[in-house]
């Protein structure tokens, strides 16, 4: 899978994309992550990529020309399944969306900045708009890193135990059960006996019950309409 991220501040993505699972996935060839600086496609003096908003108002707007030029170049090199714009008014990102994106071959993620992007980009060049929550960030870079992380960790070979991703929270509209490790007792706080029993069927049943209970208590919105 290849993910191209378009941004005016590529340095914001250096750390989140170059450590842990994402770094290993790229190094092993499971995924390809390419960050593009939109400024490199500007024909303006000083690589300017923004301008004042027609009609007035505060804030600068990302211009259409350099973004279209970059998208045209990329689409001339390969076929893209989705061109995603990270925006607070997009569809709310969740695990099913991550699952769906993980089976695609190539996607582009455009990071907004300043006041926003020229609406014509959204109308004519973008295929999908995604939000990570009902709040506003300085730019779309951190949101893009979140989407890339959530998607790439699902790819076969990205994590050593592939069944682990299938047991994550939200995969079955349930939160993950609590987990424990050694020591079995610490300051009088004990690990549940069932986890030490070796009864694998009993352990799986306990974990399922715990997931159901935690989801009902902490995220009833997930549980409603998806009874387990």
Report pLDDT for 173: 81
pLDDT digits (tens, 9 = 90+) for 32-50: 999 999 999 999 889 999 9
Q: In a 3-state reduction of DSSP, which class is residue 130?
A: strand
Does the pTM exceed 0.85?
A: yes
Whether cis (ω within 30° of 0) applies to the bond prior to 183 is yes
Look up the CATH number of domain 169-223: 1.10.1270.20
Positive or negative: CA dihedral 126, 131, 171, 98: positive
Q: Which residues 6+ apart lie within 8 Å of 135 measured at CB?
A: 88
Closest by CA position to 120, among listed 83, 173, 67, 43: 67
Is it the case that residue 59 has pLDDT exceeding 70?
yes
Do residues 9 and 141 make contact, with C-beta atoms less than 8 angstroms apart? yes
pLDDT digits (tens, 9 = 90+) for 110-154: 999 888 999 999 999 999 999 999 999 999 999 999 999 999 999
pLDDT digits (tens, 9 = 90+) for 159-192: 876 555 555 556 678 898 999 999 999 999 999 9
Domain segments of the chain as ranges: 2-152, 169-223
Report pLDDT for 162: 56
Closest by CA position to 111, among listed 97, 124, 126: 126
Vertex 153: Cα angle to 148 and 155 (nearest 5): 100
Per the DSSP assignment, residues forming a β-bridge with 91 are 130
Spatial distance between the Cα atoms of 56 and 15, rounded to a whole number of angstroms: 36
Question: Quick count: other Cβ atoms within 10 Å of Cβ 88?
Answer: 16
Q: Which CATH class is domain 2-152?
A: alpha beta
Q: In a 3-state reduction of DSSP, which class is residue 111?
A: strand
Is it the case that residue 227 has pLDDT exceeding 60?
no
């Amino acid at each position: 899978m290849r993910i191209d991220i378009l941004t005016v501040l590529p340095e914001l993505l250096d750390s989140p994309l170059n450590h842990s699972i994402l770094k290993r996935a790229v190094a092993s060839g499971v995924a390809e992550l390419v960050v593009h600086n939109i400024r490199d496609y500007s024909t303006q003096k000083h690589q300017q990529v923004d301008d004042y908003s027609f009609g007035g108002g505060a804030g600068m707007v990302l211009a259409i020309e350099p973004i279209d030029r970059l998208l045209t170049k990329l689409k001339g090199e390969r076929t893209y399944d989705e061109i995603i714009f990270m925006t607070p008014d997009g569809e709310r990102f969740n695990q099913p969306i991550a699952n769906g994106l993980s089976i695609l071959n190539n996607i582009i993620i455009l990071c907004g900045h300043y006041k926003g992007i020229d609406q014509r980009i959204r109308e004519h060049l973008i295929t999908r708009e995604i939000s990570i929550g009902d709040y506003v960030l300085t730019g779309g870079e951190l949101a893009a890193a979140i989407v890339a992380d959530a998607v790439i960790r699902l790819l076969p070979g990205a994590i050593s135990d592939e069944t682990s991703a299938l047991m994550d929270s939200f995969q079955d509209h349930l939160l993950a059960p609590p987990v424990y490790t050694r020591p079995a007792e610490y300051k009088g706080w004990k690990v549940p006996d069932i986890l030490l029993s070796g009864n694998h069927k009993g352990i799986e049943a306990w974990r399922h019950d715990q997931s159901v209970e935690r989801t009902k208590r902490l995220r009833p919105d997930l549980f409603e309409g998806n009874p387990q």
